[in-house]
Chain A
Amino acid sequence: MSKLYDLKVLIENKIKADGLDAMSVKGKIGLRSGRTLALINATTPDDPDAVAKLRQAAKEVLNIDV
């Protein structure tokens, strides 16, 4: 499992748990991190820079540390 995919799952769970508009929130995180969450899957290779950007975007949009 890639780290990026783990982050994606955590983010999706948080969105579900909070009952947020999934498309909008995922769109904002995607725009901030420069990655489309839909294109991240279990085989997506890890990139430390991409991981850091995704964490930062999740922090900004959802105010969570993932």
Chain B
Amino acid sequence: MKWNLIRTKVLAALAGCLVVGVGGILALMSYSFTRNSRALATESVTGAQRLFTILEAREISKMTSVSETLLMDPRIHDAFAAKDRDRLLELTAPLYPRLKNEGITNWMFHTPEPNMVVFLRLHNPAKFGDRLDRFMDKEVVRTHAMVTGNELAKAGFAVRILRPVDNGCGGLAGYIEFGEEIGRFIHEMKNQTGDDYGLLLNKKFVDRQFWADSSAVWKRRDNWNDNPDYVLADKTTATDRIIEFQGNMAAVPMGGQVLERFQDGDSVFVRGIFPIRDAAGSTVGAMFVVRSISGLYQTMLHTRNVLVLVTVVALALGTFLVLVLLNRLVFRRLDQIIVVATRVVGGDYETEIRTNSDDEVGQFEQLFEQFRRVFVDLMEHVPELQEKT
């Protein structure tokens, strides 16, 4: 390849354009995909947080309605006021399986202060008389009004309501409590959004032995040692691999945080996390959100490939056209001038330069033809040649 040729230089310039064009497309597509995936991840986190809040409010409302309905039954109310545990169990036990089917897995009656112990535990009737001493217990004692919120107990994380029950004589008969496991929410959230979720709990708030026991009861793997700081309470995926968090849970901002984009086989995901606070306002856990963006990724790859192909074809076609034009308009005509000039020096005074255009090269052709005629006229007057002829 001769670099001094205009043809080579034009070709090199167009090849450079091709490289810059393709590089630009790749960079632009990559930038666009990064921005879009981040926007999707942000939307996933905020959407999941909003949905979680809605579900939480809905379940609190449901448990509040159930508690009001139950307390309107004078038999239940009187049995509790009379502290007749057997009678209370007899009246409420048939209702518990139905409520459990609706997600209410925790149902308790508490005696009033100062002791405030569990009077009846519908989900475990044999166990009673223990004192829980949770934040919500203290709060309901302090306010004597219904307290709602999330509370992390030994068994797990639940959204609860705890409300006082009057004894019918202006006094306090005790308290009634309902609770729903938050782990259940994530499956409902997955049904609604299609995203995957994982509920992480801070180990500080979970009892190790209770976790091991409950893992055995629920026939799930005891994952306590998977991470030093948190434990995965529930998840919607078959694998734990896409729900891995190495950061500091307490440092996750209230509005949530987009973590990163990652690839698992042929699938591409974005991940985010938002904190879950208990009734006391402590960050006791976090919800992990995983959204598959494989569809977007495949679309981006397809668009990128099409753009690259179109650019390459367009530039190749452009290069071909430019070279054809240059050949027709410049190079071929310059070659003709060179041939004529050479032949004139060799003694051919007959061959003329034909000019068909008045473009730049045409003007040069005209000038050169004029020069040729002057040269031929000069040669015809040279004595040596005159003698020869």
Binding site for B on A (CB under 8 A): 22-31, 36-39, 41
Which one, A22, A25, A26, A39, contacts B385 given CB within 8 A? Answer: A39
Which one, B339, B347, B379, B384, contacts A26 given CB within 8 A? Answer: B347
User: Is B51 part of the contact surface with A, judged by Cβ < 8 Å?
Assistant: no
Which one, A28, A39, A41, contacts B346 given CB within 8 A? Answer: A28
CB neighbours (8 Å) of B344 from chain A are 27
Which one, B339, B346, B384, B385, contacts A30 given CB within 8 A? Answer: B346
User: Is B342 part of the contact surface with A, judged by Cβ < 8 Å?
Assistant: yes
A38 touches B348 (CB 8 A): no
User: Is B345 part of the contact surface with A, judged by Cβ < 8 Å?
Assistant: yes
Which one, B343, B382, B385, B388, contacts A24 given CB within 8 A? Answer: B343
Binding site for A on B (CB under 8 A): 339, 341-348, 379, 382, 384-385, 388
B345 touches A27 (CB 8 A): yes
Which one, B346, B382, B385, B388, contacts A27 given CB within 8 A? Answer: B346
The residue on A at minimum CB distance from B339 is A24
State in angstroms the CA–CA spacing of A38 and B341 once bound together: 15
B382 touches A30 (CB 8 A): no
Given contacts A31-B341, A36-B379, 13 further A-B contacts (CB under 8 A): A23-B343, A23-B347, A23-B348, A24-B342, A26-B347, A27-B345, A27-B347, A27-B348, A28-B346, A29-B346, A37-B346, A38-B384, A39-B384
A37 touches B342 (CB 8 A): no
The residue on B at minimum CB distance from A28 is B342
State in angstroms the CA–CA spacing of A27 and B385 once bound together: 16
State in angstroms the CA–CA spacing of A31 and B341 once bound together: 9
A38 touches B347 (CB 8 A): yes
CB neighbours (8 Å) of B347 from chain A are 22-23, 26-27, 37-38
B345 touches A26 (CB 8 A): yes
How near does chain A come to B381, taking the closest CB pair, in angstroms? 12
A31 touches B384 (CB 8 A): no
B342 touches A39 (CB 8 A): no
CB neighbours (8 Å) of B346 from chain A are 22-30, 37
CB neighbours (8 Å) of B385 from chain A are 38-39
State in angstroms the CA–CA spacing of A28 and B342 once bound together: 6
The residue on B at minimum CB distance from A27 is B346
B343 touches A27 (CB 8 A): yes
A31 touches B379 (CB 8 A): no
The residue on A at minimum CB distance from B387 is A41
B342 touches A38 (CB 8 A): no
A27 touches B384 (CB 8 A): no
CB neighbours (8 Å) of B339 from chain A are 24
How near does chain B come to A27, taking the closest CB pair, in angstroms? 3
CB neighbours (8 Å) of A39 from chain B are 382, 384-385
State in angstroms the CA–CA spacing of A41 and B342 once bound together: 21
The residue on B at minimum CB distance from A43 is B384
CB neighbours (8 Å) of B384 from chain A are 38-39, 41
How near does chain B come to A54, taking the closest CB pair, in angstroms? 13
A31 touches B342 (CB 8 A): yes
Ordered by A's residue number, 27 sampled pairs between the chains whose C-beta atoms are within 8 Å are: A22-B346, A22-B347, A23-B346, A23-B348, A24-B339, A24-B342, A24-B346, A25-B346, A26-B346, A26-B347, A27-B342, A27-B343, A27-B344, A27-B345, A27-B346, A27-B347, A27-B348, A28-B346, A30-B346, A31-B341, A31-B342, A31-B345, A36-B379, A38-B347, A39-B382, A39-B384, A41-B384
State in angstroms the CA–CA spacing of A39 and B378 once bound together: 12
Given contacts A23-B348, A27-B348, contact A38 B343 (CB under 8 A): no
Give the residue among B342, B382, B384 with the most A Cβ atoms within 10 A.
B342
State in angstroms the CA–CA spacing of A20 and B126 once bound together: 119
State in angstroms the CA–CA spacing of A28 and B341 once bound together: 9
State in angstroms the CA–CA spacing of A36 and B384 once bound together: 12
State in angstroms the CA–CA spacing of A30 and B342 once bound together: 8
